[in-house]
Amino acid sequence: MKKLFIMYGIGTVSLLFAETVAIAPKDTYWIWIALVFAAFGVLIWFVSSRRTQKMEEMYRQMLEKQQEIEQSQALFLASISENIHDIVAKNYQDTAYVPDVAGEKAKTIQKEKRRKLLDVTNDLIEFLRLKSKKVEITHEKFNLNNVLNEVSGSVCSQFKGSDVELIFDIDSNIPRYLIGDARNLERTLHNLLEYVLSEVDSGEVTLEIAMFGNYEEQIELQFRLSDKGQGLSEAQKESLFVPTYDEESQTYSGLGLFVAKSLIEMMQGALVVDSVVGKGTTFTLTLPFEMLDPSNRRNYRLPEKVLTAKKVFIVDRSYNSGLAIKKMFAYFRHDVKVVTKEEFLGKKHNLTPYDIVILDESLFNPRTVAYLEQLKKQKALKVIALNALLQKNEEEKYPELVDRVLSKPANQERVFELIINLFTPQRIEKSKEEAKSHNAYGLTHRSEIQEAPHITQQSFRDFSGKRLLIVEDDTINQKVLTNILKVSGMEIAIANNGREAVNMVKESLEPFDLVLMDINMPVMDGYVATQMIRLESEYDNLPIVAFTALALESEREKIFNSGMNAYLTKPLNIGKLYTVFKMYMPGSSAQQQRVQSYKVVDSNVLDIDKGIGYANGNEGFYMEILKEFLDAYGNSGELFAKLVHEHRYEQLKMLCLDIKGLTGSIGAIQMYQLIAKVHQKVIYHQEEMLSEYIDAYEKELGRLESEIERYLSH
C-alpha cells in the first residue's frame, strides 16, 4: 500500500512537470518550487513512516521483554508463598541429622546448611519487604569501618577456605564517620561480595573505595568491586538482577543481586556492571552521603607524635594487598616498603632500619624467626603476622616474637588501633584462667561460646521470667531472636541502636538480667553504648554480651575493654545463645538437678558446690571454666618439669600464679595447696627443692583431670 502511494506521488509530480511546459516562463519558477516542496513532503512522510515503524517495533519488543520480566517475578513471588515453608522445613531437617557422617565433618555440613538456609531466608524476607514497600531509608551517623568489619566477617565466614585474596583498597581521604543508611549499605556490599566470591575460585577480588564530588557536606562514595574471573556475556548481564526460581532444584538465583540493586536505587545511588568474557567483572556502585564534620580532614589522630613516622617493611603473598596495607600505614606518615613474597625468599633483606616488620604468616620459618629474635634483642622491633579471614584454619599458632596479628582485608581504623596497641605499654596478656575470673563488671568469658546440644525453642523456658534487652538495628535479626524466644516466658525489650539501649537501661523500672549488644549500629555503636552504661556503678553487674560478625583478636580486645562480658558470633546459633543465657541467668531447675544428681568422690580434689559458688551460682559458667582449664593446663605437667629442669624460675612463678588463681576458683583444694607450696619455694629462692614436686604435680593434676572429666560427662 505504501509503495502504491509513493508511486502515485511520483506520477503526480511527473504529470505536473509535463503541464508546466505549456505554461508561461514567468510562472514556471513558482510551479517548480511547489513541485519540490511536494516531493520533499512525500520523502519526509516516507522517512517518518519508516522511523515510526521501527520505533513501534522497538516498543513492542521492550513491552514483551518487560512482560516477561513481570511474569517471571510474578511466578517468583508465587513460588515463594508455595515453596518457602517446604524449603525451610527441608533445610532445617537436613541440619538436624547428617546420615553416615560423624564428628567434625558432620558439624561442618550442618553449619553450611544452616548458613545457606539463613542466607536464603534473609534474602527472601528482604525481597518481600521491598515488594511490599516496607524498607525505609535512614540518614543516621555511622562508622564506615564497622560496616566493613561486618561485611568482611560475614562473607569470609561463609567462604572460609577459599583460595581468593580479598583486598580492601581504601583511599586515605575516606571519612571515618558518615551520615546515611549503614544497614542497607552493609546489606548491599554483602550481597555483591557474596555473588562475586561464589563465582571465582582463585585470584584477587578487590573492593576499592574512593570519594569524589565533595560539595560542602555532600559527598559521593564510589565502591568498585572487581575480579579476574570468567566474565559475563551480554545475555548474562541482562538477566543478572532478575530473580528466578528453579522448580527442579528448588533454588533461587539472582535474589541477592536484585535486593542489592533495589536498595541502591532507594538510596539514590547507581550500579553499573562492566564485564569482558575471559577477563573478569567490575561492579561500580556510587552512593551519596553526608560528612559528619566537613572541617575535620584528619579522621584518625594518633594520641602521641612519637607514634608517627615509623619505618615499616611489608611482605604479603599478594603484592596488591601489600600496597593496600601500605596506603593505610602511610596515612600516619610512616615510611613503608613493600616487597613480594618471592623477592623476600630470594634474598636476605636487612631489616635493622625498620621499626615495624609485617610478614605473611607463611614466612615464619626457623631461619626468619631466628633472625627476627636476634633483631629484637638489639632494638625495639615490632613484628606483625599477616593472615587472611578467608584462610582455612580458625586459629593459627604464631612464634612468641609476634607482637600482633593483622587480618586481611584490613581497614583504616584497625590499622589505627594496631599502631596504638603496638607502642602503648600493655599489661601482660591475661591467661585463660584470668579470662574466666571476675573483673570490674562481673564474670567474663573471653573465648568463643560453646554450643549446647539438642536445643529447641522449648529449651528457653528455663529462663522464664528473666528480663532481656536486645540491642539490634536489623529488623530481620530482631524478628529472628524474638521468634526463637516467643515461648520462653521471658520479658523482652528491643532497642534499635546504642543510644536507645542506654536510655532503656537507665530508665527501666525493673532491672534487666542480660543485654545482647550488637556492635555495628548507627547513631551509637555497641562499644560506646556499653561504656555509657558502665559509667553508672549500679550497672556493674549487668551482663552485656556482644553480638558480632567479626571476632578478631583486636575486636575482642575492644569488646572486653568497653566493659562487655562475652561475645556471640553471627549468624545466630541457638545452641550458643542458650549457653550464654545459662551462664549469665542461672537458676533453672535443669541446672540445679544436674548438681544434685552428681555424686562427689572427693571434695578435696574438686569441690563442685564451692566452685559453682565462686562462679556466682552459675553451673553453666562453671562448666565452661572447667573445660577451659583442661584445654589450657591439662598437659602442664610436662611444662612444669621442663621449667624446673631448665631453671626458668620466672616463667615457673608465672605458671604458679596462673594455676593458683584457677584452682582456687574451681574448688580444686588439694591442687591449690600443692601449687601454693611450689610458689613459696620460688619466692624464697629455694630452687633446689623444686625437683621434689615434679611427680606430685603430675599425680595431683591427673586426679583433678579425671574428676573434672567425670563431672562434665555426667
Pick 441 or 128 by higher pLDDT.
128
Task: Give the three-state DSSP class for 700.
Answer: helix
Q: What's CA 669's distance to the chain center, in Å?
A: 43
Predicted confidence band at 460 (pLDDT cuts at 50, 70, 90)?
very high
* Sign of the Cα pseudo-torsion (453, 458, 464, 468, in order): positive
- Three state DSSP letters for 496-519: CCHHHHHHHHHHCCCCCCEEEEEC
- Three state DSSP letters for 273-294: EEEECCCEEEEEEEEEEEECCC
CB 121 within 8 A of CB 89: no
Taking 70 as the threshold, does the pLDDT of residue 375 lie above it?
Answer: yes
Any residues with CB less than 8 A from the CB of 440 and at least 6 apart, and which?
540, 563
| H-state helical runs in 255-404 | 255-266, 319-330, 341-346, 366-378
- The number of helix segments (H) and strand segments (E) in the chain equals 24, 21
544 in the Ramachandran plot: left (φ > 0), alpha (ψ -120 to 50) or beta?
beta
Task: Give the three-state DSSP class for 421.
Answer: helix
Lowest average pLDDT, out of 141-145, 494-498, 557-561, goes to 557-561
When pLDDT is averaged across residues 122-146 and rounded to a whole number, the result is 82
Taking 70 as the threshold, does the pLDDT of residue 553 lie above it?
Answer: yes
CB 118 within 8 A of CB 157: no
Work out the mean pLDDT of the chain and round it to a whole number. 80
Q: CA distances (Å), 83 to each of 79, 247, 249, 544, in order? A: 6, 9, 12, 39
Look at residues 636, 646, 633, 660 and name the one whose alpha carbon lies nearest to residue 691: 646
Taking 70 as the threshold, does the pLDDT of residue 589 lie above it?
Answer: no
Q: How far apart are CA 237 and CA 254, in angstroms?
A: 11
CATH number listed for the domain at residues 312-423: 3.40.50.2300
pLDDT at 3: 46
Predicted confidence band at 91 (pLDDT cuts at 50, 70, 90)?
very low
Retrieve residue 358's grid coordinates: 609485617
DSSP for 235-259? HHHHTTT--EEETTTTEEESHHHHH
Compute the residue count for the chain: 714
Predicted confidence band at 603 (pLDDT cuts at 50, 70, 90)?
confident
CB 173 within 8 A of CB 238: no
When pLDDT is averaged across residues 367-395 and rounded to a whole number, the result is 88
Q: How far apart are CA 387 and CA 402, in angstroms?
A: 12
**Torsion of the alpha carbons at 116, 129, 251 and 285, rounded to the nearest 10:** -80
Q: Grid coordinates 546504642 are at which residue?
A: 498
Taking 90 as the threshold, does the pLDDT of residue 468 lie above it?
Answer: yes
Q: In degrees rounded to 5, what are phi and psi of residue 260?
A: -60, -50
pLDDT at 36: 60
Predicted confidence band at 402 (pLDDT cuts at 50, 70, 90)?
very high
Taking 70 as the threshold, does the pLDDT of residue 150 lie above it?
Answer: yes
Beta strands 382-388 and 404-408: pairing type?
parallel
Q: Grid coordinates 569488646 are at which residue?
A: 559
Domains 312-423 and 432-585 agree in fold: yes
Q: How far apart are CA 585 and CA 460, in angstroms?
A: 11
| Residue ranges of domains in the chain | 2-63, 81-131, 140-291, 312-423, 432-585, 594-712
Topology at the third CATH level for domain 140-291: Heat Shock Protein 90 (3.30.565)
Q: How far apart are CA 401 and CA 313, in angstroms?
A: 16
Q: Which CATH superfamily is domain 432-585 in?
A: Response regulator (3.40.50.2300)
Residue type at 54?
Answer: K
Q: CA distances (Å), 297 to each of 223, 300, 324, 425, in order? A: 21, 9, 20, 29
Q: How far apart are CA 353 and CA 332, in angstroms?
A: 18
pLDDT at 211: 93
CB 501 within 8 A of CB 517: yes
* β-bridge mates for residue 405, sequence order: 385
Note the pLDDT tens digit of each residue in 627-682.
767 877 888 889 899 999 988 888 888 788 778 767 877 788 898 889 889 988 88
Q: Grid coordinates 568497653 are at which residue?
A: 562
pLDDT at 216: 62
Look at residues 575, 582, 583, 568 and name the one whose alpha carbon lies nearest to residue 471: 568
Pick 654 or 350 by higher pLDDT.
350
Q: How far apart are CA 671 and CA 607, in angstroms?
A: 12
pLDDT at 377: 92
Q: Which helix (H) or strand (E) holds 714?
A: none
Q: CA distances (Å), 627 to each of 108, 431, 534, in order? A: 22, 14, 29
Lowest average pLDDT, out of 222-231, 395-404, 531-540, goes to 395-404
Q: How many CB atoms lie within 10 A of CB 329?
A: 23
Taking 80 as the threshold, does the pLDDT of residue 430 lie above it?
Answer: no
Taking 60 as the threshold, does the pLDDT of residue 518 lie above it?
Answer: yes
Q: What percent of the chain has pLDDT over 70?
A: 73
Most distant CA pair in the chain: distance in Å? 143
